[in-house]
Structure 1
Amino acid sequence: MVSSGTTTHDALVVGAGFAGLYAVHALRNQRNLDVVAFEAGHGVGGTWYWNRYPGARVDIESVHYSYSFDDELQQEWHWSERFPAQPEILSYLEHVADRYDLRRSFRFGTRIVALDWEDAESLWTATTDRGETHRARWVFSGAGTLSVPKKPEFPGVDEFAGEVLLTGNWPHEPVSFEGKRVGIIGVGSSGIQAISEIAKTAGRLTVLQRTPNYATPIGNYPTDPREEAAEKAGYAAIRDASRNHFLGVPYSDVQPSALAVSPEQRREVFDDRWNRGGFRLFIDSFGDILFDKAANDTLAAYVRDRIRERVHDPATAELLAPEGYPYGTKRPPLETDYYEAYNRPNVELVDVKANPVAAVTETGVRLADGTEHAFDVLVLATGFDACTGPLLALNITGRDGRRLAEHWSDGPQTYLGLMAAGFPNLFMITGPQSPSVLYNMPLAIEDHVDFAAAAIDHLRARGLDVIEPAAEAEREWVAHTEELANATLLPQSPTSWYLGANIPGKPRRVLVYLGGAPAYRAKCDEVVAAGYEGFTLSARRVPAQA
């Protein structure tokens, strides 16, 4: 039953990050649809609204990590750094929101707590945490891939008398670490960035590390005016090259095999990519790094050697040198002076793999052997419930009362990483089993929103209302993504969030499409050219007249 306060729209958008903003623009501004959008935060920005921790910075070059849909926007916007920090990215997204008048479609400070499909009228009903209900024919989820922080695996966080800070939900007010005893748990990308900065001011910083990471230099620098002018002059070609590259960035120096060259030649390539920074070492050194364990071993050993060069204390260097999983099977963090932080007299590294965290206490952290570490501030950089967590948090119920959580009880099942069988008209922008985090995210978002918006155009031109993947198409896509993953070294990482392995009890299934952006885009084009192959298109059901 629909309450008298329910409003009905053409489309409903979740989130005000890169995905949500572009979805509102594509649907409302470009197609004149009635759109309502919801954002739990009190402003735009998505990831860059919530992640304000010290050192927060993107790991894709600014020339690529930006919208491509409007050439005037990309020509006029000036980035101050090659890899911009959180405040500048947030300013960019605020500019986009104002430039295209997007804020008026959003209900800020409002969270979707349930999404229910009404089969009788082929509409979704969204319920908010304010008790409001809104109906729409189509739903675009821009809830993100890394937006639900992982819950701590140890008890007692609520008992801590000091300040507890989450990197994924950082205070908007300035935080001072001057003279304080700070503990940080987690050395993934967020933890590494935060450690580099907190170490500069904390009275004492204790890093509680379970699994060390293969962190490599980001290679950031102030924007070079001549480089910027050249890139803007050739932006169309840059974007085309990006969309035709595995990672969505136009690196072009990759060589076939790390095993087909001499050790000296291999070292020369590794040194060059290390010094140039970014993801060049990961994706632009040798093509077999993610597929051949022997090739991967050469790069893993190289990174360990470079860590030992930078960390003065040999015992600390060995703790920081990753072992036990291949390089690149977790997203490689990019850093600035991270390893040098451990050369500071106020920084201590504690191995909590051999001696795990038992509990957080009123005064700090207690380890399994009874050792106590006292802190004034505790920073949790423990990662995210990636890809599926943000969607499951929406409490989605599809056809015949089937909940998405039930449909995904053994792991995510999607078609093209965009839709799920039994959940019509629900577009999961950069959803599980799409390239998403292995593709330049703004371009991945544009590709998905454009695909979904074009599908709506296709439906409306034919008097149709509903698009839904066939169960068989979904099964084949899941099998395909699993096959691709198993051809790589990815399954050899015991804790990679690419597989959901960082969350206790989470079904272990590949969350990303590993065929690369060009292959994925080609598949989507094939689907459209074949009349939306794998999808069922239909008209809404018309209620019988009395």
Structure 2
Amino acid sequence: MPEQVDVVIVGAGFSGLYAAYRMRELGLSVAGFERGADVGGVWYWNRYPGARCDVESVDYSYSFDKDLEQEWDWSEKYATQPEILRYVEHVAQRHDLRRHFTFGTSVVSAELDEERLRWTVRTDGGQVVEARYVLFGVGCLSSTHLPEIEGIADFAGASYHTGEWPHEGVDLSGLRVGVVGTGSSGIQSIPEIAAQAAQLTVFQRSANYSIPAGNKPLSDEDRAAQKAEYAERRRLARLSGGGSPHMAHPLKTLEASPEERRAAFEERWELGGVLYSKTFPDQLTDRAANDEARRFWEEKVRAEIADPAVAEQLIPADHPIGTKRIVTDDGYFATYNRDHVHLVNLRGNPVERVEAAGIRLSDGTLVELDVIVYATGFDAMTGSLDRISVTGRGGRTLKEAWAAGPRTYLGLGVDGFPNLFNLAGPGSPSVLANMILCGEQHTDWIAGLLGQLREGGYAGVEARADAVDAWVEECRERAEGTLMTAANSWYLGANIPGKPRVFMPFVGGFGVYGDIIEKVAASGYQGFELLSG
């Protein structure tokens, strides 16, 4: 007989842990599963050198526990992976959340019993659990991607993926290291690796925009000021586009004088990181406005790189600034001024194959290496769900339903899959915003819905097909009204061969999205069908 619970939660990252907390508050029984050995999600796995959040520490934190906001002390403006993981572990301990999860266990399938509206969930450890509701908190950047390169298994040295970095760390001292990829994990790790390696070769397919974090230790005075204004920071964050309290300039880019424009860009540059893409409200919708931001960025970066020929290769020419997530770095561009650091531009000289001794390029050059680091990212947004066989009405799988791209209503419901919810994934602001606040927003909304179902004596809820169709179209139209679709980004699945080219997040902003889902709830959950037992 399968174990009977109200809710199964998959994943013990920030969203999954908060979901366990809220479901327990509702008086629902919970069975959670996490493939890692402990809590943390993306911050449990991503231990590569230089791993750091691109949202300020004070904002990249839970908002539900006001005492925790006042008690926890962040050490830096932008926290590193170890500190973020310590924070997650502290929250799990503080609220006794680990008891709801079985660790070191992956969910392999979830199958709907249509008549009873119950889900049977199976794990790789042989557990079978039956639940009314299933909440997926599997993360958008959790399914690592290794490129298909001939001979990749033939390399005689050590190979690592940044998303599956050994927990004991890696000593690269005195070694010849190759880093493949210059996305976020590559750009963050390269300065750290360069500080250890005897020789570092960076294999770049696509140049990326990155901005110095402007990181600094936080003083007692800094922390006291942040804690005093926490309520206002949270209020502004919930109104914002990205889930942090920094608002765009009140004027459009070209409405501001050149002096005002430069001052605004300078302010965001000093703030550091991804928020530069939101300096002006039209920066991601108007090409001329975007060009102003790009030119300022380029001026700053060229000044960092000693060799103009190297600078030319490191400056993107194939997409507007901000249409791929801007990376937050610590000395990335200056790293190329070091004599032992070399850049290979794969656009002009692609990888032909990996050999026992290193990487062979198409021009015949063999780059001899002791270690290869694959900073090649993730099958983003949908990859973690694709690993699980989710079967809904009529025996149709979620993978089949999403074959042409993810289809959701509000990012929350999928027609044909009643009582199943995905936290902070496709169809919601997700990776375009502060993921912790996104997870809280989704979980609180779901908790409200489940409370209504219980009060009304309903057995479940399902998104209507017409509501899904309309939301998919709205998300598409909003994305096409911006410059975001001009880049071959992982937002579109462009890094995964054969994946449908669909812009997966909701691009309208965190605050706008929050208004939309609250209006749906206030309307009696328009677009959803409340199902009788």
Shift of 1:265: 3.5
Is residue 2:49 matched to residue 1:54? Answer: yes
In 2: Cα distance, 1:262 partner to 1:460 partner: 57
Alignment pair present for 1:302 and 2:300: no
Question: How far did residue 477 of structure 1 move?
Answer: 0.2
2:530 partner letter: L
Compare 166-175 and 300-309 and name the one that shifted more. Answer: 300-309
Whole-Å separation in 2 of the counterparts to 1:506 and 1:120: 34
Matched residue, 1:508:
501
- The CA deviation string for residues 412-470 of structure 1, in whole angstroms up to 9 with x for no partner, is 10000112111111110002010011111111100001111111111011111211100
Q: Structure 2: how far apart are the matches of 1:252 and 1:261?
A: 16
Partner of 1:416: 410
Match of residue 528, structure 2, among 496, 510, 535: 535
Q: Is the CA contact 2:5–2:129 (under 8 Å) kept in the aligned structure 1? A: yes
Whether 1:373 and 2:363 are equivalent positions in the alignment is no
1:22 partnered with 2:18: yes
Which residue of structure 1 lines up, in the alignment, with residue 7 of structure 2? 11
> Number of residues paired by the alignment?
533
CA offsets per residue over residues 471-503 of structure 1, 9 Å max, x none?
00000000000000010001111x211111111
Q: Secondary structure at the match of 2:353?
A: strand
Show the counterpart of 2:320. 326
Q: CA deviation at 1:153?
A: 2.8
Please state if 1:198 is matched with 2:171. Answer: no
Contact persistence 1:304–1:322 (CA under 8 A): no
Q: Secondary structure at the match of 1:38?
A: strand
Whether contact under 8 Å (2:35, 2:106) holds in the other structure is yes
Which residue number corresponds to residue 543 of structure 1? none
Q: Which amino acid in 2 is paired with 1:470?
A: R
**Between 178-187 and 261-270, the greater mean CA deviation after superposition:** 261-270
Aligned match of 2:284 = 290
TM-score under structure 2 normalisation? Answer: 0.98
**CA apart distance, 1:372:** 1.1
CA distance in 1: counterparts of 2:81 and 2:324, whole angstroms: 22
Alignment-derived partner of residue 139 in structure 1: 134
1:363-442 equivalent positions in 2, closer than 5 A: 363-442=357-436
Q: For 1:170, which of 150, 165, 168 is the aligned residue?
A: 165
| CA–CA separation in structure 1 for the residues paired with 2:369 and 2:456 | 64
Three-state SS of the structure 1 residue aligned to 2:82 is helix
Whole-angstrom CA distance in 1 between matches of 2:490 and 2:169: 30
Per-residue deviation, 1:306 = 1.6
Matched residue of 1:78: which SS? Answer: coil
Aligned twin of 1:119: 114
- Give aligned-pair identity as a percent: 49
Q: How far off is 1:267 after superposition?
A: 2.5
Amino acid at match of 1:27: M
Task: Give deviations 1:366-410, integer Å, cap 9, x for gaps.
Answer: 122222111111000111111111111111111110011111111
| 8 Å CA contact retained: 1:307, 1:320 | no
Letter in 2 for 1:197: E
Report what 2:84 is aligned to: 89
CA contact (8 A) 2:5 2:131 kept: yes
Distance 2:144 2:318 in 1: 25
2: distance between equivalents of 1:384 and 1:200?
Answer: 26
The 1-side partners of 2:223 and 2:213 are apart by: 18
Q: CA deviation at 1:309?
A: 0.5
Match of 1:544 in 2: none
CA gap of 1:294–1:126, structure 2 versus 1, over 3 A, is: same
Mapped contact 1:433–1:510 kept (Cα < 8 A): no
Cα distance in 1 for partners of 2:26, 2:522 equals 22
Cα RMSD for the two superposed structures? 1.1
- Tell me which amino acid in the other structure corresponds to 1:513: F
CA–CA separation in structure 2 for the residues paired with 1:496 and 1:279: 15
1:351 corresponds to: 345
How far off is 1:134 after superposition? 1.0
Of residues 470, 475, 479 in structure 1, which corresponds to 2:469? Answer: 475
Tell me if structure 1 keeps the 8 A contact 2:248–2:281.
no
> How far 1:47 moved relative to its partner?
0.5
Instruction: State the distance in 2 between where 1:306 and 1:504 align.
Output: 34
Change (3 A) 1:252 1:431: closer
One-letter code aligned to 1:289 = Q
CA distance in 2, matches of 1:255, 1:273: 14
The one-character-per-residue Cα deviations of 1:353-373 (angstroms, maximum 9, x if unpaired) are 111112211111112222211
SS of alignment partner, residue 136 of structure 1 = strand
Structure 2 partner of 1:216: 211
Matched AA of 1:7: E
| Structure 1 unmatched runs, 5+ | 541-546
Q: Which runs of 5+ in 2 are unaligned?
A: none
Deviation at 1:522, TM superposition (A): 0.7
CA offset digits 1:186-233 (Å, max 9, x no partner):
111111000011111111110000111111111111112222112212
Contact 2:359/2:368 (CA < 8 Å) preserved in 1?
Answer: yes
Is 1:517 the counterpart of 2:513? The answer is no
- C-alpha displacement of 1:253: 5.0
Tell me what 1:33 maps to. 28
> Which amino acid in the other structure matches residue 354 of structure 1?
G
Offset of residue 262 of structure 1: 3.8
Distance 2:153 2:125 in 1: 26
CA distance in 2, matches of 1:35, 1:113: 18
